[in-house]
Copies of this chain bind each other. A is one copy, B any other.
Amino acid sequence: MPETTTVSLAGAIAVDLIAVLVAVVNGSPSVLTVQNGDALPSGPFEDAHRSLQTGLRIWVEEQTHHPLGYVEQLYTFADRDRSAAGSSQRVISISYLGLTRETRGEVGWRSWYDYFPWEDHRDGPPVVIAEHLVPRLRDWAQAGGTAALPEERWRRCAFAFGLDGAAWNEELVLQRYELLYEAALVPERVRETGGQSDATRISGRAMTGDHRRILATGIARLRAKIKYRPVVFELMQPAFTLLQLQRAVEALAGRLVHKQNFRRLIEQQELVEETGVTTSDTGGRPAKLFRFRHAVLAERAAAGTKLPLTRA
């Protein structure tokens, strides 16, 4: 049974809103941070706010002067250990994922691969995985007692990081972070002011509290979402070339995609239409500019079949 050291007075619970705000800033999938990159923007949920979502919009636009495009709720966290050290105050954090194309007020945007260096596979698997993570994870697995635990631990590692013949799955961002956390390979686990030179190179930049976990949740959600909902366009300028679109997807997914098959996919789903304009800013042959067909949002909010339905 739980150890009740903290007395539960009425009203001991505070509610925070916390935002994972994403933009693609010259080729880098970026997240808006505060405190010099140590934290995600957050603030108390005010009673005056009409709803959570509007509450979030209000203060994000206040703080950042960014019009906030697509917004969705991510997750609500409330583990006991989230409380600030010393205080027995219980904090509930309701996190949101937001997408924007605006990048004014140049402050605070950071590539999310600063925080998760092992997640960027656009130039092949990052060396940090084989060099640093794998040996340490293997040590951790082997230290797992006597029973079947070591194999079980290693199986999880291999699956999450695409080892031993398993394929890399870019959606497992959270699982990977949690494994590293469990294996104490991440500064947040030991809480030492976060971000020593060596630790950062290996395990990425740390953040306050569990902000990095929340960021991982957001990235995972977004990587999953781009596959079945046309949300990338929220991150694009109004007009863009197909390669720019492809680069944006690649930035988010952390993987390269096949050029022509990508184009065919976009085309056959009728996601874009030509603007009639071409640009030669891209180096090489001038490219046609496209715009997103907003009609598709109305037409199909994604069928989402996968069940072999009988004909009606």
Residues from 164 to 178 in A contacting B, C-beta threshold 8 Å: 167-169, 171-172
Q: Which of under 10, 10 to 19, 20 to 34, or 35 or more describes the interface residues of A?
A: 35 or more
Say whether A47 faces chain B, with CB atoms less than 8 Å apart: yes
**Number of identical monomers bound together in the oligomeric complex:** 2
Is A43's beta carbon under 8 Å from chain B? yes
- Check B63 against A51 for contact (C-beta < 8 Å): no
> Cβ of A46: which chain B residues have Cβ within 8 Å of it?
8-9
A258 interfacial contact with B, CB 8 Å? yes
Known: A2-B63, A6-B84, A9-B11. 14 other contacts (CB 8 A): A1-B107, A4-B34, A4-B41, A6-B48, A7-B47, A9-B47, A13-B45, A51-B79, A52-B76, A227-B305, A255-B307, A257-B307, A258-B308, A262-B308
Tell me the A residues contacting B by CB distance below 8 Å: 1-4, 6-16, 34-35, 39, 41-52, 63, 73, 75-80, 84, 89-92, 94, 107-108, 124, 155, 159, 167-169, 171-172, 208, 224, 226-228, 249, 253, 255-258, 261-262, 264-265, 298, 301, 303-310, 312
Can you give 5 A-B contacts (C-beta < 8 A)? A4-B39, A6-B16, A6-B42, A7-B44, A8-B11
A-B pairs with lowest CB-CB distance, top 9: A11-B11, A8-B47, A261-B308, A227-B306, A8-B14, A258-B308, A2-B63, A76-B76, A256-B310
